[in-house]
Amino acid sequence: MSTSTIGSTISSSKVEGTAVYNLQGDKLGSIDDLVIDKRSGQVRYAALEFGGFLGMGTDRYPLPWDQLRYDTEKDGYLINLDKSVLEGAPRYTEDDEPDYDDDYGRKVYNYYGSTWPSI
């Protein structure tokens, strides 16, 4: 998909479906959804779709937004993340979304070494 962006903003519909690569160049999957804090309007996670086959049985991995860097050359997001780290990462199935509360947020952010913004 096209993810051309103008200025310093991007639309959610363009993020959804965009590929995610690690720094080794491995494609980890693609962004399925964004989870937004309702009160502050802050994006908390991008849900990475990873694994499965032909879209069946894939898991969702919530990634802290601040870990993703958009790369125009790759037309996708880059994240400093080894595949082996992803194997132990928090995940859920599409039909079993977790409670995205502060506890879950802290767990996810801690896993990736990000600081959970408690507001």
Q: Which residues bind a second copy (CB under 8 A)?
A: 5-13, 15-16, 33-44, 47, 65-66, 70, 97, 99-101
| Nearest residue (CB) to a second copy, 84 versus 118 | 118
| Nearest residue (CB) to a second copy, 8 versus 24 | 8
| Nearest residue (CB) to a second copy, 14 versus 22 | 14
Tell the smallest beta-carbon distance from residue 84 to a second copy (Å). Answer: 26
Tell the smallest beta-carbon distance from residue 14 to a second copy (Å). Answer: 8
With left for phi above 0 and alpha for psi between -120 and 50, is residue 51 left, alpha or beta?
left
Instruction: Work out whether strand 19-22 and strand 69-71 pair parallel, antiparallel, or are unpaired.
Output: unpaired
Tell the smallest beta-carbon distance from residue 77 to a second copy (Å). Answer: 10
Cβ contacts of 76 within 8 Å, gap of 6 or more = 3, 18, 19, 20, 21, 27, 70
Rg, the chain, Cα only:
14
Give the Cα separation of 31 and 16 in Å (integer): 5
CB atoms inside a 10 Å sphere around CB 16: 16
Tell the smallest beta-carbon distance from residue 62 to a second copy (Å). Answer: 10
| Nearest residue (CB) to a second copy, 9 versus 84 | 9
